[in-house]
Amino acid sequence: MSRHALWWLATLPLLPIALPLAVHTRRTALRLPVAQGEPCGLAAADRPGEPLRLLLIGESTVAGVGVRGFDQALASCLAAALAERLGRPVQWRACGENGITARQACERLLPQALAEPADLVLLVFGVNDTTHLTPARRWHQALVEMAEAFRAQGCHVAFSAVPPLRHFTALPWLLRQLMGWRASLLDRELQALAQRSGALHCALDLPFEARYLAEDGYHPSALGYRVWGEGLAGRLSPLLQRPS
Which CATH number is 115's domain given?
A: 3.40.50.1110
Does 34 fall in a domain?
A: no
**What is the model's pLDDT at position 179?**
96
**What is the model's pLDDT at position 240?**
82
Does 27 fall in a domain?
A: no
Q: Measuring CA to CA, which residue among 174, 181, 118, 176 is closest to residue 146?
A: 118
The number of domains in the chain is: 1
Does 32 fall in a domain?
A: no
Q: Measuring CA to CA, which residue among 65, 82, 37, 76 is closest to residue 218?
A: 65
Q: Are 31 and 69 in contact (CB under 8 A)?
A: no
Residue type, 191: Q
Does 21 fall in a domain?
A: no
Does 6 fall in a domain?
A: no
**What is the model's pLDDT at position 1?**
65
Residue type, 44: A
- What is the mean pLDDT of each successive set of 10 residues along the chain, which is 244 residues long? 88 93 90 96 95 98 98 98 96 97 97 95 97 94 96 96 93 95 96 93 90 94 97 92 55
Residue 206's domain comprises 39-239
Does 9 fall in a domain?
A: no
**In terms of DSSP H, where are the helices of the chain?**
3-11, 15-28, 74-86, 102-108, 110-114, 127-131, 136-152, 173-197, 222-241
Does 117 fall in a domain?
A: yes
- What's the rounded Cα separation, in Å, for the pair 183 and 187? 6
**What is the model's pLDDT at position 208?**
86
Does 5 fall in a domain?
A: no
